[in-house]
Amino acid sequence: MKKVEAIIKPFKLDEVKESLSSIGAQGLTVTEVKGFGRQKGHTELYRGAEYVVDFLPKVKLEIIVSDESVAKVVETIEKAARTGRIGDGKIFVLPVEEVVRIRTGERGSEAL
C-alpha cells in the first residue's frame, strides 16, 4: 500500500477530485496549505509599504491506494492538475505499513 500526497493549485482541486472518482478512487483527504517551491511569491503594496508574500496557498491531498493502482492514480492527478505553468505542484509517493478501518476493525488492503 502506498500513500500518494499531492500539492496542487487550489483551483485544480475539483478537476483532480472528479478524475480520481472516475477511475474509482475511494476516499480522499484535503488540506489547505501554504508553501513555496520554484514559483516565486508576489508583492503586495499597502500605503507604500511592500510586503513580499513567499508562501502561496495550495491544496494538499492525501490518498492511500493499493500497490497496483499507484501508477494509475499518480498519472490521473498529474494530468488533471497540470496547467503547464510554474507552480503546478508536486506528487509524493510513500510506503504505508498498516491501515485500519476503525468501524469494523479490518486490517491492510481490506480496509482501503
Partner 1 sequence: MERRARRKRGPASAGLALIATTLLAGLSTSAFAAEEVAKIDTGDTAWMLVSTALVLLMTAPGLALFYGGLVRSQNVLGVIMQSFTCMAVLTLQWILFGYSLAFGESHGGWIGGLDFLGLAGVGQDPNPAYAATIPHLVFMAYQGMFAIITPALITGAFAERMTFKAFLVFTLLWSTFIYDPMAHWVWGVGGWMRELGALDFAGGTVVHISSGISALAAAMLIGKRLGHGHEQMPPHNLPFTVVGAALLWFGWFGFNAGSALAANGLAANAFVTTHVAAAAATCGWMAIEWLQRGKPTVLGAASGAVAGLVAITPGAGFVTPLAAVAIGVLGGIICYYGIRLKESFGVDDALDVVGVHCVGGIWGAIATGIFASKAVNSAGADGLLHGGPGLLLTQVAAVLATLVYCFAGAWLLLKVTDALVGLRAEEEEEYAGLDLSQHSERAYVLGSVAD
Stretch touching partner 1 by CB under 8 A, among 3-11, 48-56, 83-91, 101-109: 48-56
Residue 48 interacts with partner 1 (CB under 8 A): yes or no: yes
**Which contiguous run of DSSP H or E holds residue 89?**
strand 89-95
Stretch touching partner 1 by CB under 8 A, among 15-23, 43-51, 66-74, 82-90: 43-51
Q: What mask of x and - would describe binding to partner 1 in positions 52 to 71, judged by CB under 8 A?
A: xx------------------
Distance of alpha carbon 22 from alpha carbon 20, whole angstroms: 5
Asked if 4 and 73 touch (Cβ cutoff 8 Å), the reply is: yes
Distance of alpha carbon 112 from alpha carbon 106, whole angstroms: 9
Task: Name every residue whose Cβ is closer than 8 Å to that of residue 51 and which is 6 or more positions away in sequence.
Answer: 43, 44, 45
Residue 10 interacts with partner 1 (CB under 8 A): yes or no: no
Candidates 18, 32, 106, 110; binder of partner 1 (CB under 8 A) is 32
Distance of alpha carbon 74 from alpha carbon 61, whole angstroms: 12
Interaction residues for partner 1, span 68-107 (CB under 8 A): none
Residues that bind partner 1 (CB under 8 A): 32, 44-48, 51-53
